[in-house]
Chain A
């Protein structure tokens, strides 16, 4: 990309950086307009609509440092709430061939950021963004048969895949199976119907878990649902995102069929991590700040926060790697996988790493 920028412009930019040392150009540009920054990515909200009472769909125009996303990836969205920056991961719902970002955010009753985004974001709001990240993406070349399976607000990464495939005029077999409580909670219903008309190979199936009528399928996920929606599913690549109970039951069916390798998943709800706070022992030392606490058995991020530190973090569930720090010594257990590791000077994610005995972190 830098090669495309004329050399003279680059020279001017580095002269400006030298003149504006030590703060750099962005710290001045953002005072004129927050969207002018060059090194950070920001997003200007250009559209706000509500499909259901507890969700908001934002159209966001990213600043020039944005490099696009692949369908299924997520971005870290940062907002300031009462003076504190908060970051959460959201998957853009739009096609990867679209230059704008579309975010659909469901207000979690306990969710600080999701409620804030639902209540306070208006046209012209500016959000902090990261580059897109994540391995939950469509393979290239595209598989011959694809099942996109989602529940609730987990629709966003798979809808992005669907819109991408539609933009590519995908010709294979394609089923979009989506679970919602009932018709009033079914996100993107009109758009999906519209897509189904335009793309011959696509079949959209709405499953309602809490309604007996009105959908194509009713009740919770079952193997019968799967057989009815996409009978060829063992030959397909399946992309799944949704609440944990849905994810678990789909995984169970695929494992039982011995086709777990064809199932690709993205976790949004925090995994059920187990912590043994009764038998925790050892000391946790945060080297840079010199703070030391007795190991409480909770993840290191929480222990650091309880010690008065505020390490950078994002998802708090081991997805986004915002909280990665160097563990200089000691042993930690990964609360997601249960694996322990006592390597020295190893990068660990604070939010899902639990100390086993004495641990020193360079934070």
Chain B
């Protein structure tokens, strides 16, 4: 390996891995009723907001009701996708054996079918985090998000593509599963895409039917207002999800890796890659809930199947371990991380910013202290 991880001796990597394993074991042993009560409360809140939001849109002729309805529906969709859907589908609540909280059965309020997403996200992205050409979340096959991605004139449109992806994020996630870029390169056939496509058509059909046909029709003369309200709620959710997710891996100083250097990784090395390849966002309790605790992206990438509500309680320990071993712990307020991401998107649109992977450096005294 040639990156930051080389600053640690094999023994240090092993010790570091063991310390993280201990955190994991402690949390897993402690899981119980409080975790279940928590997710049930979030679900209740989400359902109540959804019912309230849909209800208020029946009074959408009254502007404050329309605004309140759209706000409630937007928050409901955000909670559904992030603190509930994303986390449940990671298997964080499989230990409860509750079918309604089962990673294999849960379906979320977006056009991307959960089954497709579980493959592209849980398996591909979480296994090959930030490995170039393996982790398909790097740029979603649309953007140039890493200096090591070879520049070509198409990438001049980077900021435009990013804006479009943010606006239509749920459709981006949905199409992501089709791996169109790999089909174009001949690495994947349309035949392989058939089952994926079938699920997409069915799922997207239902979502579109609900938000853009049935609910508008039910509100009768208010149909255009309801249509607009639902579209706005979807848009709000899209922009929010895009922002949080892009802040998780693409601020400056987040590292990427090559396939060669991650071959035969040990458990400790895998942990190391997750930390170097992720970034957190600081904020209050409500903010963390609204991000599905993906504001603790580092902790999430270390322990994707531990209930996300546990990330804040271990974040201090993870950070202390990083400091002990002289590793960066990339975190900052939302505006700072977003600005960093935006800067990267613009910068990488241009050819002269293309360079091979440049590992971040740590101060040598930190490395020495850890040694």
Question: Do the beta carbons of A31 and B206 come within 8 Å of each other?
Answer: no
**Cα of A21 to Cα of B44 in the assembled complex, Å:** 16
Interface flag for A111 (CB, 8 Å): no
Interface flag for B36 (CB, 8 Å): yes
**Cα of A68 to Cα of B37 in the assembled complex, Å:** 32
Interface flag for B269 (CB, 8 Å): no
Which of A2-10, A80-88, A296-304 makes up part of the contact surface? Answer: A80-88
Q: Tell me which residues across on chain A come within 8 A of B43, comparing CB atoms.
A: 27
Q: Tell me which residues across on chain A come within 8 A of B36, comparing CB atoms.
A: 80, 83
Question: Do the beta carbons of A27 and B100 come within 8 Å of each other?
Answer: yes
One digit per residue, 1 when the CB lies within 8 angstroms of any chain A CB and 0 when it does not, for chain B 247-273 equals 000000000000000000000000000
Count A/B pairs, Cβ under 8 Å.
Answer: 56
Q: Which of B111-130 contact A (CB under 8 A)?
A: none
Q: Tell me which residues across on chain A come within 8 A of B33, comparing CB atoms.
A: 82-83
Ranked nearest first, the 10 interchain pairs of A and B with the lowest CB-CB distance are A83-B36, A22-B107, A85-B97, A83-B33, A21-B206, A82-B32, A83-B32, A82-B33, A85-B98, A21-B210
Q: Which of A26-53 contact B (CB under 8 A)?
A: 27-28, 31
Question: Do the beta carbons of B107 and A18 come within 8 Å of each other?
Answer: no
**Cα of A85 to Cα of B206 in the assembled complex, Å:** 31
Q: Tell me which residues across on chain A come within 8 A of B303, comparing CB atoms.
A: none
Q: Which of B70-112 contact A (CB under 8 A)?
A: 94-98, 100, 104, 107-109
Q: Which of A21, A28, A84, A288 contacts B97 (CB 8 A)?
A: A84
Q: Tell me which residues across on chain B come within 8 A of A87, comparing CB atoms.
A: 97
Sample of 27 A–B contacts (CB below 8 Å): A15-B214, A18-B209, A18-B210, A19-B210, A19-B215, A21-B207, A21-B209, A22-B108, A22-B109, A22-B206, A22-B207, A23-B47, A23-B109, A27-B47, A27-B100, A31-B47, A31-B48, A80-B96, A83-B31, A83-B96, A84-B95, A84-B97, A85-B97, A85-B98, A86-B97, A87-B97, A310-B97
Q: Tell me which residues across on chain A come within 8 A of B21, comparing CB atoms.
A: none
Q: Which of A18, A27, A80, A310 contacts B206 (CB 8 A)?
A: A18
Interface flag for B51 (CB, 8 Å): yes
- Determine how close the nearest CB of chain B comes to the CB of A20; give it in whole angstroms: 8
**Cα of A330 to Cα of B95 in the assembled complex, Å:** 27
**Cα of A86 to Cα of B96 in the assembled complex, Å:** 9
Given contacts A19-B215, A31-B47, A310-B97, 6 further A-B contacts (CB under 8 A): A15-B214, A22-B206, A22-B207, A80-B36, A83-B34, A310-B94
Q: Tell me which residues across on chain B come within 8 A of A312, comparing CB atoms.
A: 97
Question: Do the beta carbons of B96 and A28 come within 8 Å of each other?
Answer: no
One digit per residue, 1 when the CB lies within 8 angstroms of any chain B CB and 0 when it does not, for chain A 309-339 equals 0101000000000000000000000000000
Q: Tell me which residues across on chain B come within 8 A of A19, comparing CB atoms.
A: 210, 214-215, 218
**Cα of A265 to Cα of B34 in the assembled complex, Å:** 42
Q: Tell me which residues across on chain B come within 8 A of A80, comparing CB atoms.
A: 36, 96, 98
**Cα of A340 to Cα of B203 in the assembled complex, Å:** 42
Interface flag for B323 (CB, 8 Å): no
- Determine how close the nearest CB of chain A comes to the CB of B84; give it in whole angstroms: 10
- Determine how close the nearest CB of chain B comes to the CB of A1; give it in whole angstroms: 23
Q: Tell me which residues across on chain B come within 8 A of A85, comparing CB atoms.
A: 96-98
**Cα of A21 to Cα of B218 in the assembled complex, Å:** 16
Q: Tell me which residues across on chain B come within 8 A of A27, comparing CB atoms.
A: 43, 47, 100
**Cα of A23 to Cα of B110 in the assembled complex, Å:** 11
Q: Tell me which residues across on chain A come within 8 A of B218, comparing CB atoms.
A: 19
CB-CB nearest in chain B for A78 = B97
**Cα of A21 to Cα of B95 in the assembled complex, Å:** 25
Most buried by B among A18, A23, A82: A23
Q: Tell me which residues across on chain A come within 8 A of B96, comparing CB atoms.
A: 80, 83-85
- Determine how close the nearest CB of chain B comes to the CB of A40; give it in whole angstroms: 8
Q: Tell me which residues across on chain A come within 8 A of B214, comparing CB atoms.
A: 15, 18-19
Q: Tell me which residues across on chain A come within 8 A of B97, comparing CB atoms.
A: 84-87, 310, 312
Interface flag for B179 (CB, 8 Å): no
**Cα of A21 to Cα of B108 in the assembled complex, Å:** 9
Q: Tell me which residues across on chain B come within 8 A of A31, comparing CB atoms.
A: 44, 47-48
- Determine how close the nearest CB of chain B comes to the CB of A88; give it in whole angstroms: 13
CB-CB nearest in chain B for A84 = B96
Q: Tell me which residues across on chain A come within 8 A of B207, comparing CB atoms.
A: 21-22
**Cα of A23 to Cα of B88 in the assembled complex, Å:** 13
**Cα of A31 to Cα of B48 in the assembled complex, Å:** 9
